[in-house]
Structure 1
Amino acid sequence: MTELAFDSLATPTLSPEHSQGGARLSEWGVIRAEGADAASFLQGQLTSDILGLASGAAALAGYCSAKGRLLASFVVWSPAPEVYLLACSADLLPATLKRLSMFVLRAKCRLTDASGELALWGVAGRDAGLPEGPAWTVRPAGAGQAVRLPDALGLPRWLVVQPAEDAAPVTAPLDLAAWRWLEVASGVVRIVAATVDRFVPQMVNLELVGGVNFKKGCYPGQEVVARSQYRGTLKRRALLLALPAGAQAELKEGQEIFHDADPGQPAGLVALAARSPTGEQLALVEVKLALARAPGAFRLGAADGPLLQPRALPYPLPSNDD
């Protein structure tokens, strides 16, 4: 693994029969922010430029602690004037909503959990029949809206939000495992309860996929995030690592990763993991870059744990990362 070429590794794969359709995303939830000050309130809380968000556009955003560690990640867009929807992991939504609500104070912004009235669907495939367009565009889709997500493994993907009682947005069902596999393969992190307060955004490549704006005003942890960006080289990044089908171990968010070159201490942490419908496992894993370039291999859970195989990210890592 010396001088590992992160962009010349084998690419994860997904069989054609698992590459088309829609899956109900029960592990996602939705926070609604509404009111005359909704945009300015979110501007002061999230890593993305919410005030600069154009009509018909969505943004990837992080929500950090004062120490710059991610407490949540969101897909954010405005379905109507003075209304914003924030899609995130359902397992951290209650705590995140409570924390955000503490800082509303006198702002004219009402925050509520809209998960009971709105359903989120993940749709993938070239024959989905949903509006095309660049990543992070938002278009009407039936009684709801479709957010175009970044492609994964060459497949277009959408996050569809619609009334909970409505029928599926597409006819063909998609295996939820296939959707999760595509999500991990896209290299776009989703913070879950097991990884809350573990990563500065750059550790999981959030700024590389458009989730951090370094020109906007202050937000919690902004100084730490900016210092991590501009003080020099970054020491930790997220890579894709895989376990072959048939492996007895299971990749899970929050698990520690070790490396042969420094077996006495953890080399990183699993940020997001999935098992494909055919059994192979894939994870976006935050690691020490120095170890990624050292002789040896990453292992799951312990210094003598199962061997993890590197896979190609869909985007390059900056050449000045150390």
Structure 2
Amino acid sequence: MNPHWRSFLESAEANFAADAADVLDFGDAAGELQAAGRQTVLVPLTHLALIAASGEDCKSFLHSQLTSDVNHLAPAQAQHAGWCTAKGRMQASFVVARSGDVYRLLVAADLAEATQKRLQMFVLRAKVKLSAETERVLLGVAGPQAAEALADAGLPLPAAPLAVADGDTASVLQLDAERYVVMAGLDAAPGLWQKLGVKARPAGVPVWRWLDVHHAFPLVTLATKEEFVPQMADFEKIGGVSFHKGCYPGQEIVARTQYLGKVKRHLYRLSGEVPLAAGDELYSPDNLEQAAGKVMTAAPSPAGGFVALAVVQSNYAGNLRLGARDGAVVLASAVNPA
């Protein structure tokens, strides 16, 4: 995280995690969670980062690497995408946002540096420039007055979910009906924070993660790197996989998995009374051979307890335990029921 931005957030009474750059809260974690369910919140998205891709061959390069159809991504639009290993396992997930001829990849911050370096290895002679956008700040605005807060701050409004609007000092990506990501220049970010804060309550990253669970937003992080074939996290159901494009890393396995109907694990929402964290293993007393699932994203819940998104083996979803077969009970409900 840029030290100037961190200093500004500290002056705004942000509390940081001891072992990470994530903002935990602004002094009232419980109140911020409660606000997220009914009010508009403003979150410094310190758990996310941007990789910018540009250059004459940028579109074809990304199309050849990612699971989605980048060739048909129109200007001012965005889409989900995965980047797989040769074995079809996602080593990163993105929201790809196109601004003119520049493609910005929204990615988990703990994967950003390694992902950029590994992508760079495949550029070879292509005319592509990959760069970490460390001079941009990511702000999340969510809730019933989110669009109004953006307009009052002088920010452009996207036309629809998974659309992008570019302004002089910031671009805005609409994730879903009431959630926006502001990609602001470092110099403009403090002023935008203050303007957005008129209608939106500052809140920590756990609030945004709760919203990710609520909206079923799957994000691959360091804790779940190379754990899932895209369909296990339901990426094909949110436009993150194209089965009509050319080759990309892992394409053969992803396609075979789809057409042979071998996907036995899918995305579920979990709830429980004990803390959940990305990478936690899930077990079932009915399955003595292996783990029955793994947590992708987790957060405390405004209703009490904890919630998560997890990839779960469907035939064991009705009887899950955390960490061991005799662990704490967690309840699961399918995000996309069959």
TM-score interval (norm. to shorter): 0.7 to 0.9
AA at the equivalent of 2:241: V
CA 1:118–1:107: 2 relative to 1, 3 Å:
same
AA at the equivalent of 1:148: Q
Greater relative contact order (CA < 8 Å, ≥ 6 in sequence): 1
Say whether residues 1:252 and 2:281 are aligned partners. Answer: no
Q: Distance in 2 between matches of 1:16 and 1:310?
A: 25
DSSP 3-state at the match of 2:294:
strand
AA at the equivalent of 1:147: L
DSSP 3-state at the match of 1:225:
helix
AA at the equivalent of 2:216: G
The two structures have a TM-score, normalised by structure 2, of 0.81
AA at the equivalent of 2:163: T
The aligned residue for residue 139 of structure 2 is 121
**CA drift at 1:133:** 3.8
Farther off after superposition, 71-80 or 255-264 = 255-264
Q: Distance in 2 between matches of 1:47 and 1:17?
A: 32
The aligned residue for residue 251 of structure 2 is 222
1:56-112 superposed Cα distances (whole Å, 9 cap, x missing partner): 10111100001000000011122232x211110110111111110000000000111
Contact 2:36 2:207 in 1 (8 A): no
CA 1:132–1:101: 2 relative to 1, 3 Å:
closer
DSSP 3-state at the match of 2:120:
helix
The correspondence of residues 256-295 of structure 1 with structure 2, limited to 5 A, is 256-263=281-288, 265-276=290-301, 279-292=304-317
DSSP 3-state at the match of 2:71:
coil
The aligned residue for residue 44 of structure 2 is 24
The two structures have a TM-score, normalised by structure 1, of 0.85
1:147-175 superposed Cα distances (whole Å, 9 cap, x missing partner): 11124xxxx11111111232326222342
Q: Distance in 1 between matches of 2:266 and 2:334?
A: 14
The aligned residue for residue 138 of structure 1 is 164
Unmatched segments (≥5 aa) in structure 1: 1-13
Q: Distance in 1 between matches of 2:117 and 2:158?
A: 36
Say whether residues 1:298 and 2:320 are aligned partners. Answer: yes
CA 1:228–1:289: 2 relative to 1, 3 Å:
same
Show structure 1 runs of 4+ deviating over 6 A.
none
AA at the equivalent of 2:220: I
1:200-243 superposed Cα distances (whole Å, 9 cap, x missing partner): 00111111111111111111001111111111252111111111
**CA drift at 1:142:** 6.1
Contact 2:267 2:334 in 1 (8 A): no
The correspondence of residues 189-200 of structure 1 with structure 2, limited to 5 A, is 189-200=218-229
Contact 2:84 2:91 in 1 (8 A): yes
DSSP 3-state at the match of 2:223:
helix
AA at the equivalent of 2:183: V
Contact 2:63 2:69 in 1 (8 A): yes
Q: Distance in 2 between matches of 1:269 and 1:30?
A: 26
Contact 2:36 2:143 in 1 (8 A): no
**CA drift at 1:122:** 1.2
**CA drift at 1:178:** 1.6
Contact 1:21 1:170 in 2 (8 A): no
Match of 1:94 among 94, 103, 113: 113
CA 1:17–1:202: 2 relative to 1, 3 Å:
closer
Q: Identity rate of aligned residues, in percent?
A: 41
DSSP 3-state at the match of 2:326:
coil
The aligned residue for residue 125 of structure 2 is 106
AA at the equivalent of 1:77: A
Unmatched segments (≥5 aa) in structure 2: 1-32, 151-156
